[in-house]
Amino acid sequence: MTANNEQDAAKEAAAKEAAAKKAAAKKAAEEAAANRKQTFVATFRLLLDGSYAAPGATVTLTREQFETLKPLGAIEGDWD
């Protein structure tokens, strides 16, 4: 009986470790995606990071900035 309990405990510990690694990988992927940037064209004057971008200028945005500006029609293009 003791051997079975030890095997069960080892399996449970391994499963917990695998779940923790999977959660850490998911978090790292989400953080990388949040920090990723893409370039778009401004459709009107924008204030980004303390500088103005004129209409027609290319602007490099984070996903969060894109999601704020796209519904307003402030930029052209789609997030890839």
Using a cut of 0.85, tell me whether the model's pTM lies above it: no
Residues 23-74: tens digit of each pLDDT: 777 776 676 666 799 999 999 999 998 999 999 999 999 999 999 999 999 9
pLDDT of residue 1: 59
**Looking at per-residue confidence, does 18 or 37 come out higher?**
37
User: For residue 64, which phi and psi values (nearest 5 degrees)?
Assistant: -65, -45
Tell me the C-alpha distance between 61 and 45, whole Å.
15
- The answer to whether 75 touches 59, Cβ cutoff 8 Å, is yes
Q: Which amino acid is at 40?
A: F
Tell me the C-alpha distance between 45 and 71, whole Å.
15
**Looking at per-residue confidence, does 31 or 76 come out higher?**
76
Boundaries of every domain in the chain: 1-35, 36-76
User: Tokens at residue 35, please?
Assistant: 């920090």
